[in-house]
Amino acid sequence: MAEAIKIRATLQGDVADVKALMNHVMETGLRQDPASGKVVPAHFIQQVIATFNGKTVLDTRWGPSVSKNPILGFRVKGARAGDKVVIKTTDNKGETLNGEATVA
């Protein structure tokens, strides 16, 4: 499987610009499989938590309307080179994705 979450964190002054690409199918539960005619079960990210050096800086709730392989971007003030960014997600099936990066 490809890397679950790819994170890039770059420093601009004292602000970290964080971008994350999450590898997830994000199925709504409304789409029908053309081959079988059956509805594809819902499978989407419900929660995204980002921590910066162990402190939570972002806690979001998502739903089925978010696109496949979503991209998330946010900024954190007071950052320094070498700070650690961790992003964890949980989907509606209880599965998790994790990723981490160091601010450069």
Global pTM?
0.92
Q: Identify the architecture of domain 5-102 in CATH.
A: Sandwich (2.60)
Per-residue confidence (pLDDT) for residue 2, from 0 to 100: 55
Tens of pLDDT, residues 43-67: 999 999 999 999 999 999 999 999 9
E strands in 1-104: 5-12, 15-22, 45-52, 55-61, 71-77, 84-91, 96-102
- All structural domains of the chain with their residue ranges: 5-102
What are 11-47's pLDDT values in tens digits? Answer: 999 999 999 999 999 999 999 999 999 999 999 999 9
Sign of the C-alpha dihedral computed for residues 70, 74, 79 and 81 taken in this order: positive
